[in-house]
Structure 1
């Protein structure tokens, strides 16, 4: 999925529609333009980029109207610049698809059993995580990766902000990341963000044993037009991240998120817990 972008996915979906409307199989169209079946599959799933020449030949074979061709050629052009502002940050290949899809998502649902979700991290908290993860982030990239994370958070503000629903395990609120002051500032930031109309934060208490089978973080991305841009899922670990596009797998993860949402404290109760943990942490710091 390293070549994926929202534009490529849209282009692929439209190419599939045109082919099906023409009553042709992927093999038939591929044979007509001199491309293999696997190439056609990758184009239609948005997994690989299509050259301008191949797109022109493909649209001619599918007898696409002139106005349709113009729109799809524009999508292809946009996909070439999908990295755009992110190229300067030196992000790893496994993270680039998430960043690209994140820009186009309308809603993100995320579960974090260990760390505060990236879209809600303060700069100091993010830097502490990256400094600690030297097996994953080379020291010379820390500043750039932290700034990329701060830049991604701009999706939460503006005229059409992203809707974020985050479920965070209680242990995350108490995990020492950086100094006690860094953690206190992070909890204060979570409290502030939880008051935003487009952000929902729920805490999964440590006494709740119903989520023991979910041993990883995961993020679900939903888009404005699910018919063209179906939901996707992302999760990561020490060796990198993975995008999941299989509809059945994504639906399973969406079901898991629904279970977690029902288990977690309601948003109001979660704010109360955040405030309580923050108060306890500051008292410990004052008496330490």
Structure 2
């Protein structure tokens, strides 16, 4: 279970409680009679502390009521097979975890039948979406800054990035800005699709219905850990990290790669869509 989003959230809350108590990792380890590495790994999310260990930490740190309640909830959460943060604070923390996963990933695949995936959104396209309340749980400046960091990472060539996008998402005019916003987004996608570490695959409108059309998803894969799946909803998100839940999503991704146009065909389609404007 280590490295699951819920374990990361628990580690973050434990670190917050320890810091608020004025203790260093070394001091906490000494008073608990454990190694400092155990404290460090628990806070990084690379180790899942058992309930009794967390209870001892809570007793030592004596956090205020709200943080104590959050820790108790997270201890229960790490034993389940998926995690769904809801609300402004939890969404913001979940997106922070998303960035952390993407930095550690060996490959990322995003599937979106409705919109251009976040890391490949131009600033103008993203601002238009945010202005219309597409991410109501977080601040616009924060959301734009996050998209730019994610874009810099995937375009920087540190990770293999695949975007599978329905053509109808590319045909959607995005107000305000309208045609100009759409033209700029199509041009950027065409340019970025030529980068060695970026693959843009368009599912053409003539394909009609296909498996995976119902919703978008992101698969984050690692060299040294099992894959996780991130599902973004309107005011919440869901993380899947059990093999039982992740495997069907990976199978759908593989199916869609067969449905989509090739990389070169996708670039041709992007150029054609831009030429229609």
Deviation at 1:79, TM superposition (A): 5.9
CA drift of 1:57 comes to 8.8
Say whether residues 1:263 and 2:259 are aligned partners. yes
Moved more, 114-123 or 203-212: 203-212
Using the alignment, how far apart are the partners of 2:260 and 2:33 within structure 1? Answer: 50
Q: Which runs of 5+ in 1 are unaligned?
A: 13-41, 61-68, 81-89, 282-288
| Counterpart residue number, 2:227 | 231
Q: What is the aligned partner in structure 2 of residue 97 from structure 1?
A: 97
1:241-280 CA-to-partner distances (Å, cap 9, x unmatched) read: 1111111111110000000000111111000000000000
Give the 4+ runs in structure 1 shifted more than 3 A. 50-60, 69-80
Task: Name the counterpart of 1:48.
Answer: 10
Contact 2:164 2:260 (8 Å CA) reproduced? yes
C-alpha contact (below 8 Å) 2:125/2:174 kept by paired residues: yes
The CA deviation at 1:212 is 5.1
* CA separation of 1:77 and 1:245: change in aligned 2, threshold 3 A: closer
CA contact (8 A) 2:113 2:169 kept: yes
Aligned partner of 1:196 in structure 2 is 195
1:88-118: CA deviations, max 9, x gaps?
xx86244333222122112101100010000
TM-score normalised by the chain length of structure 2: 0.70
CA distance 1:101–1:213, shift in 2 (3 Å): closer
Q: Distance in 1 between matches of 2:106 and 2:142?
A: 26
User: What is the aligned length?
Assistant: 221
| Partner of residue 167, structure 1 | 164
Cα–Cα, structure 1 residues 73 and 93, in superposed 2: closer, same or farther, change >3 Å?
A: closer
RMSD: 3.2
Matched-pair contact (CA < 8 Å) for 1:130–1:137? no
User: Secondary structure of the equivalent of 1:149?
Assistant: helix
Name the CA distance, whole Å, in 1 between partners of 2:165 and 2:33: 47
TM-score (ref. length: structure 1): 0.67
1:176 and 2:173 correspond: yes
Which position in structure 1 is the counterpart of 2:144?
Answer: 146
CA change 1:247–1:145 in 2 (3 A) is same
CA distance in 2 between partners of 1:195 and 1:240 (Å): 33
Secondary structure at the counterpart of residue 195 of structure 1:
coil
The CA deviation string for residues 204-231 of structure 1, in whole angstroms up to 9 with x for no partner, is 0112135155400000000121xxx210
What is the SS of the residue equivalent to 1:156?
helix
User: In the alignment, what sits opposite 1:218?
Assistant: 217
Partner of 1:247: 243
Q: Which has the larger radius of gyration?
A: 1
SS of the aligned residue for 1:92 comes to helix
Distance in 2, Cα, partners of 1:95 & 1:166? 19
Structure 2 runs not aligned, ≥5 long: 19-24, 47-88
CA deviation vs aligned residue, 1:116-153 (integer Å, no higher than 9, x gap): 00011111111111101167156xx2122112210222
Does the 8 A contact of 1:191 with 1:275 survive in 2? yes
Contact 1:97–1:243 (CA<8 Å) still a contact in 2? Answer: no
